[in-house]
Structure 1
């Protein structure tokens, strides 16, 4: 008749928190809920990098030579769209980068082509008297997110 003491929670057990069950709903209903929200964000790939963007955000990316100031571009690689209350993610398939073409769209306006700050790299060899200074002022393109639209299906 040995009495066992209540087991103390281990460090591993204390780190695990009860997770709330995720609620999944049909995509059309999710889009209607998302469209009713006042402001939206998207997660998009621009020139190979991932950015979380909202309307009127200014985004500085490496120089894009084929764009002119005033051009309006459409962001096509959207992986997530959401608001304060809802999030809609694209399926994790490798070729699928958008929830479905036309459901969520985002456009950006090319505001300016600018240059960054002067970067100085000094190359030198010890005890040889060799010292070389390389200066570089990189080019950047600045974009402004002009619109994010959520278009729920009508049918």
Structure 2
């Protein structure tokens, strides 16, 4: 059984026991998160598609908060002596999917 759910505007394919990385959520480590925007559920050969959402819920546990590797962005203008180098590290939350249930 798997589901497609939406968290902070991005869609994720989840199964029970999977770990997913989502944009940083303002919750404590160890808390339970309920994801209510479930777009699709596939159970055996049966597929249920919401229009736009299903009456379903995905429960997940917050494992940790971390940051991705740094990416470097360089801007420059040729022959003008202008150069700029900046870095960015995106924060994320790692979730462990506990259950997928239909209401």
Structure whose residues are more often helix by fraction: 1
How does 1:1-155 map onto structure 2 within 5 Å? 40-64=1-25, 66-90=26-50, 92=51, 97-98=53-54, 100=55, 104-150=56-102
Structure whose residues are more often strand by fraction: 2
Q: CA deviation at 1:69?
A: 0.9
Structure having greater relative contact order (Cα 8 Å, sep ≥ 6): 2
Q: CA deviation at 1:143?
A: 1.0
Q: CA deviation at 1:50?
A: 1.5
**C-alpha distance in structure 2 between counterparts of 1:124 and 1:84, whole Å:** 54
Q: TM-score, normalised by structure 2?
A: 0.88
**C-alpha distance in structure 2 between counterparts of 1:125 and 1:53, whole Å:** 44
Gaps of 5+ in 2: none
RMSD over aligned CA atoms reads: 1.6
Runs (4+) of structure 1 exceeding 2 A deviation are none
**C-alpha distance in structure 2 between counterparts of 1:106 and 1:62, whole Å:** 17
Find the structure with the greater CA-based Rg.
1
Gaps of 5+ in 1: 1-39
Q: CA deviation at 1:108?
A: 0.8
Q: TM-score, normalised by structure 1?
A: 0.61
